Structure 1
Amino acid sequence: MAWLNIPMPSWFSKPEIKPIVSPGSDAVATTKPKPCCVCKDEKSKRDECMLFSKATDPSSDCKTTIEQYRSCMAGFGFQV
């Protein structure tokens, strides 16, 4: 009964999860958040202002909220 000594994966054991790191990538790139995950409040205020603005030029009407969103994104290293 030599086949009994073959290691079998268990349903109850968790496999080891290792992050995939490509050569040449630095640690800063792996810790940088995605642009969709930051400045959510500022983005929703900007979108709300642009959508519901009664002005003929919503971008000039919502300039302060747009600048708040841009400065928030710049704080995370994104250029908008």
Structure 2
Amino acid sequence: MFQRIATKFLRQPIFQSQLRKSFMTAPVLGVLTNHKLLIQNLSYLQSQFYHMEESNDELELLQEEVPVGRMQ
């Protein structure tokens, strides 16, 4: 009984077109979401890399200043 009702429901043209649309758009939405997350992660990594470079530059400057200060 349930199988007959479900089969009739699935054979309705409106339901079939909705299923077709959802199956076609689902992969696209997944790709767009993954692309957005990838861009966010790359942006975060880039900002972290710049922070690391700045801190390394500051450390190098401090290390250069320390021996000069000891000699005086």
Hey, which of these two has a bigger chunk of helix by percent? 2
TM-score above 0.5, yes or no: no
TM-score of the aligned structures, taking structure 1 as reference length = 0.26
Bigger radius of gyration: 2
TM-score of the aligned structures, taking structure 2 as reference length = 0.27
